[in-house]
Amino acid sequence: MTATVYGIVGYTTWGSVRGQGPVRSALSQANEDLTDDRRACESLGGYSDRVVVVVDEDGFLHHEDGAYVWPSHGRANGAVRAAVRVK
C-alpha cells in the first residue's frame, strides 16, 4: 500500500456493509485481519466487502490513493473516522 496520506498512525479494514475492523499499528496486521474476515465470510457462504485502509492522525480513514473513505448511502455527513484510535 502506497498511501499519499501524511500522519499515518495505523491501518484498519473497512467495508460499506460490514463496517470497520480493528485498528492496527502495522499494515501486515491489517492484511491478516482482512484475510481472516474474508475466510469467515466465505465459510458462511458470503463474501467480505472490506479493504485495508489508512488511519490518519485525526482518525480519518483513507484509501491507498489518499482519498477519504466516505460512508455509504449518505448515512453521515463527512468522511469516516476510526472508531478506535491506535495507542
Written as one string, the DSSP assignment of the chain is -----SSEEEEEEEETTTEE---BSSHHHHHHHHHHHHHHHHHTT-----EEEEEETTSBEE-TTSPBP--GGG-SSS--B-SS---
* Domain that residue 43 falls in: 8-74
Q: What is the pLDDT of residue 7?
A: 86
Give the pTM. Answer: 0.79
Query: pLDDT tens digits, residue range 13-47?
Result: 999 888 899 999 999 999 999 999 999 999 999 99
**Residue 1 placed within a domain:** no
Q: What is the mean pLDDT of residues 66-74?
A: 77
Is 24 inside any structural domain? yes
80 lies in some domain: no
Please check whether residue 11 is in contact with residue 53, taking contact to mean a CB–CB distance below 8 angstroms.
yes
Task: Report the Cα–Cα distance between both ends of the chain, in Å, rounded.
Answer: 22
**For the chain, what is the domain count?**
1
Domain assignment present for residue 15? The answer is: yes
Query: Tens of pLDDT along 49-61?
Result: 999 999 998 888 9
- Alpha-carbon span 61 to 13, nearest angstrom: 9
| Amino acid in the structure at residue 86 | V
**Inside any domain, residue 32:** yes
